Amino acid sequence: MRFQAITWERLADALAAHLDGTAPGGGDWLKVGIDGAPTAPTGETAERIGAALRLRGRAVLVVGTGGFLRPASLRYEYGKRDPDAYYSGWFDTGALWREVFGPLEADGSGRVLPDLWDPVTDRATRSAYVTLPPGGVLLLHGPFLLGHWFPFDLTVHLRLSPAALARRTEDPWTLPAFERYEREVGPSDAADVVVRADDPRHPAWTGLRNQPS
C-alpha cells in the first residue's frame, strides 16, 4: 500500500471535491463513513470534510456512532471490559439502520435522528430529528463501521499501526477488538480511502481507491 503525504485540510478539500461530483448510489443523499478507532480523529475529519462541502453549497449532517451506543445493561452484560462485546455489542447498528440510513433511502423522508443514547446518563437523548434536504451529505464517523453492509457511497479508514494504537489507546482492554476487526474485516483493504494517522501532525493517504472512474 503506497501513501502520499497530505495535510488534513487538503484531504478534506480533495474528498469534498470528489463527493461534490458523485451521484448517490441510492436515494437523493450521499452517505460517507469515516472509520477509525476512538483515538483516531474520525470526528474532526468528518467536521473538516463537512466544512469543505458546505463551502461548495452542500447541506451536511455529521453523526457519530458514540450517540448510538446500546444501554449499559446490554453493553456490560459480560462485564465492563469484554473486547468481544465491545466489538459486536456496544453500538446499536439496528438503530443506525432505522434512524439514520432508512430515512435516506430512495423515497425516504430525509429526517435523521442525530443521536439516540447518552452513555453518561444511560438514557435516551430525546434529540429532535434533523431533516437533511435532497442533495445533502451524511458523514457518519466512529469505529467498526465497515463490515455491516451500510450503504456508504464513500468510505474512509483512518489507519493506526498496532504500535500507535496501543500507545494512544486509553483503554488497552479494547485492543483485541481492533485486532479482530483487522482480521475479520480488513478495513485497510475494504475502504475507498485509507489515511495513515500514526502521527496526527503528518497524515498520509492512498488517494481514492475502489471507486469507479
Residue 110, all three cell numbers:
430525509
Instruction: Write down the pLDDT at residue 212.
Output: 57
3-class secondary-structure state, position 121: coil
d(CA 53, CA 49): 6
Kindly report the three-state secondary structure assignment for every residue of 130-196.
Answer: EECCCCCEEEEEECCCCCCCCCCCEEEEEECCHHHHHHHCCCHHHHHHHHHHHHHCCHHHHCCEEEE
The candidate with the shortest Cα–Cα distance to 154, out of 53, 6, 10, is: 53
> Global pTM?
0.96
Instruction: Write down the pLDDT at residue 26.
Output: 81
Instruction: Write down the pLDDT at residue 213.
Output: 47
Cβ-based neighbour number of residue 45 at 10 Å: 23
Cβ contacts of residue 93 below 8 Å, gap of 6+? 148
Query: CA of 27: how far to CAs of 53, 105, 106, 186, 201, in Å?
Result: 19, 5, 4, 28, 37
The candidate with the shortest Cα–Cα distance to 152, out of 3, 30, 23, 10, is: 30
Instruction: Write down the pLDDT at residue 1.
Output: 84
Per-residue pLDDT tens digits of the chain, which is 213 residues long: 899 999 999 999 999 999 999 999 888 999 999 999 999 999 999 999 999 999 999 999 999 999 999 999 999 999 999 999 999 999 999 999 999 999 999 999 999 999 999 999 999 999 999 999 999 999 999 999 999 999 999 999 999 999 999 999 999 999 999 999 999 999 999 999 999 999 999 999 999 876 654
CA-based diameter of the chain, in Å? 47
d(CA 56, CA 16): 8
Cβ contact 187:142 at 8 Å: no
DSSP notation for 48-63: HHHHHHHHTT--EEEE
Q: Give the CA-trace dihedral at 12, 18, 22, 25, to 10 degrees.
A: -60
